[in-house]
Structure 1
Amino acid sequence: MAFSSNSSGGGPMADINVTPLVDVMLVLLIIFMITAPLMSHKVKVELPQATLDSKPEILVPPVTVAVKSNGEIFWNDEKVNKDLLEARLAVMAQEVPQRQLDIRADNSTRYQIIADVVRSARVAGIRKVGFVSTPER
């Protein structure tokens, strides 16, 4: 408790106790002193600058493989089975320039089915595999 030293009576003292404020500020100072060196990057990398003025023209259209939630596979909207898909992927891998493979799948499609399609594309030698999704709103 703070006691008044003046003789005007026993009224409360109007001074602010700054000790808790100083304690909090010292703790914050120590935290920032420890974390500030961790925020800086140790390795300096000069990133390349983008020089693309316009979108590049797509010379060959991509192939779209759609996978439904029940496991049905469609090659450009034509239903195919696993063997026919692998055969078409092998033919596509031999094309020059190689087209991109776009994979579309339902929201409820199991990941294993999609992974099998991607694995088949990689085994066949497809270098460009993309995933098609709806944009966020």
Structure 2
Amino acid sequence: MSDLEPIRFVPRGGPHAQAARPASPPSSQVSFDRRELRDLLELYGRMVAAGEWRDYAIDFLKDQAVFSVFRRSSEAPLYRIEKTPRLARRQGAYAVVSATGLILKRGHELARVLAVLEQKTLRLVTA
């Protein structure tokens, strides 16, 4: 019986359980807030309905948050919408980057930056 460890009581739940836990460190991860996600997903929905986009990915990194859109999920992203808070005072926190790395638009307001993706392209219409 000497190889058995003693049973330890670990309290769970109850009114004092929260006070016993150490405070978690503040998150150093950049993310999109609810309004930004709403704007991004509304644009995504319109572009899916138009047949332009088919998939998306969201990455939350230490210094930026990235919303990537794809024509096919097996390919490289067509566009990346990036939020980089450390650039907020200079060029603006938001940027739209093409697949080649070209910055199409940068600014302080997400709606204005996303407008570059909503521009109507000219199409030949035959009667």
Shared fold (TM-score, shorter chain, > 0.5): no
TM-score (norm 2): 0.22
* Structure showing greater relative contact order (alpha-carbon pairs closer than 8 Å, 6 or more residues apart): 1
Structure having the larger proportion of residues in strand: 2
Please identify the structure whose Cα radius of gyration is greater: 1
TM-score (norm 1): 0.21
Structure having the larger proportion of residues in helix: 1
